[in-house]
Amino acid sequence: MTHRVINFYAGPAGLPLPALERAQQELLDFAGTGMSVMEVSHRSKEYDAVHEEALALTRELMGLPDNYKVLLLQGGAHLSFGMIPLNLLRGGRKADYIVTGNWAEKATKEAKLVAGDHVRVAASTKDEKFARLPKASELKIGEDSAFVHFTSNNTVEGTQWKEFPKTDKPYVCDMSSDIMWRPFDVSQFGLIYAGAQKNLGPSGVTLTIIREDFLEMCEASDLPSYLRYKLHAEKNSLYNTPPTFGIYILRNVLAYNKSIGGLKAIETANRKKGELLYGCIDRHAGFYKGFVTEKADRSLMNVDFFLPTPELDDTFVKEAKKAGMVGLKGYRDIGGIRVSTYNAVSVQDVETLVGFMDEFVRRNG
Ligand code: PMP
């Protein structure tokens, strides 16, 4: 038996075992080619079938209407931070950014590098260490705003917009750390982007979903080719050599997600995991202290908490590792513990962790 741990890393993160096993089986002889998928031309019919299936599964799982294009790009969320203003904030357009965490702040800074004061801050909770999301009454959104940018899940701080920001403007959203955690209505979204390395597959693929009217706004023929969304859309994400192996794994993950009942089933499991984990933190409120100050804002993907002392945090991480659970050390700027419970983490994995947490209190509380 291969040794596998319970993986709570924040990203790259664990992937569903059947998706990896499929890759293992097909590694040396992909689709009867006598080659691995990494060794086959991206213009071959065998690769093309994978590419098309990855696009189709994304549409199907997310229930995307026909007026959305799915793109499989590179450069991670970081390249998107720049591509979005380069393509969309042209001709004097302005946008409002909601600053709710480390990554939302980075997105805003990068956009300002491109578009200066056409990028405005709609709200920020930085003064409160981003330990909550802004309320609807705190959002300042201009009448002239082309879009409102937000980060649906704040990976570092452990907050998540379960109800999206209240505005009638289109959204542009970084969903890197919670894409496909549940079904949702995409109709208000002009553009969604997500690095694959949490809920979708390996790093190196950036899933981008763009509405046709947003694509039309991208008149950007003066930009270097790779930076133009329109070109990628016209070429079906085959303008240049795509990250073929990453897209292949993403296809395996999505095919597996479909086989277990799609996003509805995944949401049920994610909600159960959240109940178990937050239930444990609240049950031992004198010992485990959550980072997020508003319960409604608590993320179902990243759960941050502290033990009574930094020494106990370290002991917790070490003992969990001995018990086969890895990736629990908190983000460097926050400390404490961070448990990432992306889609591939099972209810049973979280039950194991919660059993360990209960026991840890008994021994150290
Ligand atoms: N946005 C969010 C919400 C993230 O969690 C991350 C990665 N942790 C990033 C952006 C940066 O992603 P990348 O490294 O793929 O550029």
pLDDT at 1 over 80: no
> Vertex 283, ends 277 and 286: CA angle to 5°?
115
The answer, yes or no, to whether any atom of ligand 1 lies below 6 A from the CB of 100, is no
What are 217's two structure tokens? 């706004």
Measured from the CA of 155, which atom of ligand 1 is nearest?
A: 5
For the CA atoms of 322, 12, 99, 335, what is the dihedral angle to 10 degrees? 20
Residue of the CA atom closest to atom 4 of ligand 1: 176
Computed over every residue of the chain, the mean pLDDT equals 97
Q: Is 198 a catalytic residue?
A: yes
Residue 279's pLDDT band (cuts 50, 70, 90): very high
Q: Are the C-beta atoms of residues 287 and 280 closer than 8 Å to each other?
A: no
Q: Which CATH architecture has domain 17-259?
A: 3-Layer(aba) Sandwich (3.40)
pLDDT at 40 over 90: yes
What are 59's two structure tokens? 């549409």
Distances (CA, A) of 90 to 46, 73, 94, 162, 315: 39, 22, 8, 31, 52
Diameter of the chain measured on Cα atoms: 64
Q: Is 321 a catalytic residue?
A: no
In this predicted structure, what is the pLDDT of residue 2?
Answer: 84
In this predicted structure, what is the pLDDT of residue 219?
Answer: 81
| Statement: the pTM of the whole predicted model exceeds 0.80 | yes
- For the stretch 75-124, pLDDT in tens is 999 999 999 999 999 989 999 999 999 999 999 999 999 999 999 999 99
The answer, yes or no, to whether any atom of ligand 1 lies below 6 A from the CB of 340, is no
Q: Is 69 a catalytic residue?
A: no
In this predicted structure, what is the pLDDT of residue 221?
Answer: 86
The answer, yes or no, to whether any atom of ligand 1 lies below 6 A from the CB of 152, is no
Count the alpha carbons within 13 Å of 148 in the hemisphere toward its beta carbon.
21
Q: Which of 69, 198, 273, 329 is catalytic?
A: 198
Q: Which of 103, 161, 178, 329 is catalytic?
A: 103
Top mutation candidate among 176, 192, 304, 340 for ligand 1, by most atoms within 8 Å of CB: 176
What are 90's two structure tokens? 């042209």
In this chain, the answer to whether the domains covering 17-259 and 262-364 adopt an identical fold is no
Which top CATH class is 262-364? alpha beta
Parse the chain into domains and list their residue ranges: 17-259, 262-364
> Vertex 246, ends 245 and 250: CA angle to 5°?
115
- For the stretch 290-305, pLDDT in tens is 999 999 999 999 999 9
**Is 197 annotated as ligand-binding?**
yes
The answer, yes or no, to whether any atom of ligand 1 lies below 6 A from the CB of 202, is no
Residue type at 74 in one-letter notation = Q
CA 318 to chain centre: 27
In this predicted structure, what is the pLDDT of residue 220?
Answer: 81
Across 213-220, average pLDDT: 93
Count the alpha carbons within 13 Å of 210 in the hemisphere toward its beta carbon.
27
The answer, yes or no, to whether any atom of ligand 1 lies below 6 A from the CB of 160, is no
**Is 341 annotated as ligand-binding?**
no
Interface TM-score (ipTM) > 0.95:
yes
**Ligand 1: centre distance to CA 244 (Å):** 21
The answer, yes or no, to whether any atom of ligand 1 lies below 6 A from the CB of 77, is yes
**Is 155 annotated as ligand-binding?**
yes
